[in-house]
Amino acid sequence: MSESIWLHYARPRPHWYLLTAAEQREKQARWDALSRRAAVEGAHFVGRYHIRGQHDFETVDVWTFPDAQAAFDYWSGLTAAAYNQWFAFANNIGLGLEKQDVEKQAAEIRDHDNSGT
Residue-wise pLDDT for 12-60, tens only, equals 999 999 999 999 999 999 999 999 999 999 999 999 999 887 889 999 9
Statement: residue 102 has pLDDT above 70: no
How far apart CA 1 and CA 96 sit, in angstroms, is: 8
> CA 23 to CA 82: how far, in whole Å?
13
pLDDT digits (tens, 9 = 90+) for 57-98: 999 999 999 999 999 999 999 999 999 999 999 999 998 877
C-alpha–C-alpha distance, residues 21 and 93, integer Å: 32
Per-residue pLDDT at 1: 47
Query: What domains are defined for the chain?
Result: 4-115 (3.30.70.1030)
- Residue 16 has what DSSP assignment? G
Closest CA to 41 of 88, 4, 74: 74
pLDDT of 2: 57
- Tell me the C-alpha distance between 10 and 30, whole Å: 17
